[in-house]
Amino acid sequence: MLGIVPAALLAVTKHTAVTWFIDGQNLQGHKGTPRDRETIALKVKPIKAAEKVILVFDGQKGITEDRIEEEGIFRNVFLREGASADEYILNQINSLIPERPRRKVQVVTADRALRNKVLRSKFVVYGVVNPVVFWKRYLPRLCGMKSDYTNTPTEEEN
């Protein structure tokens, strides 16, 4: 039994130390992903295998101030009119550097300019994930709906 404890802890901590930043507007614009913000938020909210999940939408006309909804590790950010999700994501990543410089960050976007800026940051960025790949491959695993393919022995094998 003690042999599985380190393997189980490794499997759990492997994903939980990652902060996910999701460019919601960018995710919304791809084939195979929902077109409305509420559906995207409902599908992303159940993510368990992360330290924090931050879904950010560009500002819309008529919205005069930023609105942030938080529940557990999930944060849904609706920016004020004229504000950019790209800038918000970059500012948030840069603000985390002094707090804990070795934190791992994943960014979901297909925006080349944002991808390049994120990958050049001083932060430890795990990677930038294409929105369609995130939606089809990553999201089900992060929500615990598919196996993460770890080879931890079962109790019967011991």
Domains in the chain, ordered, with CATH? Answer: 4-157 (3.40.50)
Tell me the C-alpha distance between 79 and 53, whole Å: 16
- What does each of the 158 residues of the chain score in pLDDT, given as a tens digit? 444 433 333 344 444 578 999 999 899 878 888 999 999 999 999 998 899 999 999 988 888 898 999 999 999 999 999 999 999 999 898 887 666 556 688 999 999 998 888 888 766 667 899 999 999 999 998 988 765 455 556 566 55
Tell me the C-alpha distance between 57 and 67, whole Å: 10
Starting at the edge strand that comes first in sequence, how are the strands of the sheet with 18-23 ordered? 67-71, 74-78, 52-57, 18-23, 104-108, 124-129
Count the neighbouring beta carbons within 10 Å of the beta carbon of residue 103: 18
- Residues near 65 by Cβ (< 8 Å), separated by ≥ 6? 80
Is this model's pTM higher than 0.85 or not? no
Tell me the C-alpha distance between 152 and 70, whole Å: 33
SS3 of residue 150 by DSSP: coil
Which parts of 104-154 fold into alpha helices (H)? 112-119, 131-133, 139-142
What's the angle, vertex CA 79, arms to CA 138 and CA 38, rounded to 5? 50
